[in-house]
Structure 1
């Protein structure tokens, strides 16, 4: 993958991959690749890889050629963005603390569960982020 063609995004927009068929499972080092990507997220501080790697890590029980090719898509994205850095500096007119959050509604087409996430910025610099797939898609509205 050292000389691969770079990609502009970590995964294709609207990507949906079903869990693999037992008959089509391959022996590619898919789990090892996902582990390396998680290592890159944690050690080299690449929050831009979180969503794509998290999605691909859900499909480790039975993977086939489609899964492996989409995981390699993340590597192609890294190739094109290898020089990206997180730089922390105070911007003059930036608010002290800002939080962004969002969620989808049943976005995983395999189990219809929702995912939510947040980003905290301090003086314009990302200091904390997370994304979590909900364990239950039921939503209850309490009225008072």
Structure 2
């Protein structure tokens, strides 16, 4: 029975490195303002990431034990990190903002009509203003 106890204890000890290895972060962001997307939208100083998922947040001490030999540690140097922004080529901004500041060519089917729209816009614009267009389909203008 004593041999079994030693064997079981040795087997248990051999799994300790695996348990600690599972808690090592791939990347740590630290030294900045990190806005969380939790219920309270708190601001933390550090963030640990493993396999593309957040492992821990908090102060630098909250993530210190998660730094391993291969962990990439990024010092934010006081900068701010915000969650979940994806640049979708600014279509929303362009649609809302530029719709009011560009020549709309939607529905134009001839070169003459396109040039007429562009000339009318240019005539009322301040000198030096760029004249840009939106909504044109080059395939519909012969």
Same fold (TM over 0.5): no
Work out which structure has the larger RCO, using CA pairs closer than 8 Å and 6 or more positions apart in sequence.
Answer: 1
TM-score of the pair, normalised by structure 1: 0.18
TM-score of the pair, normalised by structure 2: 0.18
Q: Which structure shows the higher strand fraction?
A: 2
Structure number with larger C-alpha Rg? 2
